Structure 1
Amino acid sequence: MLEGLPPNGATHVMRVDAPEREARAISDIISESFDPAEVATAAFEDQDLAEGAAWAMEAYFGEAPDEDSVRELIELVAPGYGAQARFLTLDKKDWVTASLEGLAPVAIGRFVVHGSHDRGRLAPAQIGIEIEAALAFGTGHHGTTKGCLAAIAAYGRQRRPVRTLDIGTGTGVLAMAAARLFHAPVLASDIDKVAVTTAQANAVANRAAPHIRFLHAPGLGAGEFRRQGPYDLILANILLPPLKAIAKPLARLLAPGGVVVLSGLLPSHANAALAAYRAQGLRLRRRRTIEGWTTLELSADAGRNATPARRR
């Protein structure tokens, strides 16, 4: 799951102040060049900066990066800005506190992602998902998560899935949203063991654990994915390279007529992701862009040729 927060155990941060185009390009190339479990990036508008460099790009690293190599990457897409990159040592407690304290609740449909300080403010019809500081990123305050929550809410207005799959669950926000809304089985996986542990604890705290099975697994090769499927709703909020890599095995897990939600995409990447899934027989239902991030909803024709795993 992609969020604008550092990865587990982040120790270093790199920042570049630049115009929007350059900031987005730098964020793009760094996110594609490093393991998403070890590096997280964010490009955002900073009103404190002087005009002409009104955006900032930050990258958080799980280990000390090779500064010269990072500067070379920056120069490939934003000449002249590599030398401006600033590298700092980061205390985990600094970003955990700063990222969660005082954040306003995020309301998408019936879902409200909030901290404990807003627990008592929910309306009776709202589905609260409480997330606090943890060792895995994902608070719901990022455009990718908002797009996925909107897609889940839209799906729920039409039908109820028999089974849901959440790939790259992070803190489990999407898995919990599906579990709380549909009261149906959810399989939630992540490449990061700490993320899985954190998501499990969050699910218990949010009364969603009975419906969710968590799995630590890279990709979709583990037999558990097939045994628990097929899935009427599949959520994948990761990055373009892994989204493209899992297109074929993901399509095999989708039930006829099922829906796939893809996010973690810059608008410039959306068509590349769409092409990979069209090649697997999926078609675009809806495209959302929220806060500079695109979420795609795709579906499989109910009569398409497929041999999905047997339902149990």
Structure 2
Amino acid sequence: MTALQSVVLTLPARLDDRAIAAFEGVFSELLDSAATSFQRDDTGDWQIEALFTFTPDVAKIDQMLAPLYQHKSITPVPITISPVEQRDWLAENRAAFPPLHIGRFWVYGSHVTTPRPVASLPLLIDAALAFGSGTHPTTEGCLRAMQMIRRIAPRRVLDMGCGSAILAMAASRLWPSCQTIAADNDPVAVRVAAHNRALNAIAPAKMRFAVSQGFGSRIVCNHAPYDLVLANILAGPLCRMAPDLAPRLAKGGWLILSGILNGQATTVEAAYRQQRLRVWHRIRIGDWTTIIMRPSAAGTMPQLWSGR
């Protein structure tokens, strides 16, 4: 098991979600971190944690954070680095992962023996090393959004940044006749996703996979236009992806975007409005927003759904 190093950065409570996301992006997008998270501590201050599979260069981190400190008029804050205790995280995750009932979907792990509810759509997820077990509000938002538009009967579906492929499999459950492409830039995620497809007895012909940086894969591009695109990623990559994504959405298609903090939603929406898409519906669950969009000619009045 690879030893992990934890890098922790504590920032003032006065910063908003957008500012914190910018600091977090240094670790998640510019540095080779294995995972990142951020939350408020007991005093209200923000705490960002990044995990590395190697000991990171403190001077390099400080150098990359310096422009953000200057922009926000913050005195540079020292980071702390400490080794992460070696534990069987997968076993602990399974023990802490109870089955979830999200609308019609019944999301559960292989360790669950409880019979599924009648008429539910089962999704057996062993997330392992890939993101997407259904427990995060961004995934829940996507699952709820899909059920809101379940009558559309898409023929071609793209799950961009598929992680565990929970959304691609949910599409197969809702619309058995659709053809789904699940893409991720992480080969490990794609392997886990293929494993999950097999666990859920979804035919390979119905769900194909691609290791792809955005729309760099021929498989992803050649199956366009898509009647439905699912993209549960991060606000920054979603904005940058807009010019490539919009032309590959069918004229009457649907777009579900997630991985977006509430304070980032207007920025993401603006990026896609520039591509002639409009908001059809927003779902907010806690600090996170999921956005349903359509081409301008196909849109209707926007609505708002708020969850927990």
Whole-Å separation in 2 of the counterparts to 1:30 and 1:106: 32
The residue number in structure 2 matching 1:59 is 50
The range that moved more, 136-145 or 69-78, is 69-78
The one of 252, 258, 278 equivalent to 1:263 is: 258
Report the secondary structure of 2:117's partner residue.
coil
Whole-Å separation in 2 of the counterparts to 1:18 and 1:98: 29
Whole-Å separation in 2 of the counterparts to 1:301 and 1:10: 49
The residue number in structure 1 matching 2:164 is 171
Displacement of 1:150 in angstroms is 1.0
Displacement of 1:45 in angstroms is 5.5
Rate the CA distance shift 1:21–1:206 in 2: closer, same or farther, 3 A: farther
The range that moved more, 74-83 or 145-154, is 74-83
The residue number in structure 2 matching 1:12 is 5
Structure 1 portions without partners, runs of 5+: 1-7, 305-312
The one of 127, 141, 147 equivalent to 1:153 is: 147
TM-score normalized with structure 2 length: 0.82
The residue number in structure 1 matching 2:287 is 292
Whole-Å separation in 1 of the counterparts to 2:88 and 2:225: 42
TM-score normalized with structure 1 length: 0.81
Q: Is residue 140–residue 146 contact of structure 1 (8 Å, CA) maintained in 2?
A: yes
Alignment of 1:99-178 (within 5 A): 99-132=93-126, 134-156=128-150, 158-178=151-171
Whole-Å separation in 1 of the counterparts to 2:3 and 2:14: 26
Which whole-Å deviations, capped at 9, do the CAs of 1:3-30 have from their partners, x for residues lacking one?
xxxxx97822223566765595675124
Report the secondary structure of 1:286's partner residue.
strand
Give the partner amino acid of 1:120.
T
Whole-Å separation in 2 of the counterparts to 1:31 and 1:222: 28
The one of 77, 86, 98 equivalent to 1:82 is: 77
Displacement of 1:188 in angstroms is 0.5
The residue number in structure 2 matching 1:276 is 271
Rate the CA distance shift 1:132–1:23 in 2: closer, same or farther, 3 A: farther
Displacement of 1:53 in angstroms is 4.2
Rate the CA distance shift 1:249–1:26 in 2: closer, same or farther, 3 A: closer
Alignment of 1:160-309 (within 5 A): 160-183=153-176, 184-210=178-204, 211-301=206-296
Q: Is residue 108–residue 150 contact of structure 1 (8 Å, CA) maintained in 2?
A: yes
Report the secondary structure of 2:96's partner residue.
coil
Give the partner amino acid of 1:205.
L
Displacement of 1:112 in angstroms is 2.4
Give the partner amino acid of 1:232.
D
Give the partner amino acid of 1:177.
A
Q: How many corresponding residue pairs?
A: 291
Whole-Å separation in 2 of the counterparts to 1:300 and 1:93: 47
RMSD: 2.9
Give the partner amino acid of 1:240.
A
Displacement of 1:281 in angstroms is 0.7
Displacement of 1:235 in angstroms is 0.5
Rate the CA distance shift 1:226–1:133 in 2: closer, same or farther, 3 A: closer
Whole-Å separation in 2 of the counterparts to 1:223 and 1:160: 25
Q: Is residue 100–residue 115 contact of structure 1 (8 Å, CA) maintained in 2?
A: yes
Which whole-Å deviations, capped at 9, do the CAs of 1:154-189 have from their partners, x for residues lacking one?
111x32111110000011111111112211111010
Give the partner amino acid of 2:210.
L
Which whole-Å deviations, capped at 9, do the CAs of 1:28-48 have from their partners, x for residues lacking one?
1243224557443223466xx
Q: Is residue 43–residue 56 contact of structure 1 (8 Å, CA) maintained in 2?
A: yes
Q: Is residue 23–residue 57 contact of structure 1 (8 Å, CA) maintained in 2?
A: no
Rate the CA distance shift 1:103–1:296 in 2: closer, same or farther, 3 A: same
Report the secondary structure of 2:149's partner residue.
helix
Q: Is residue 158–residue 180 contact of structure 2 (8 Å, CA) maintained in 1?
A: yes
Which whole-Å deviations, capped at 9, do the CAs of 1:236-290 have from their partners, x for residues lacking one?
1111222122111211111111111111111222111111111111000111221
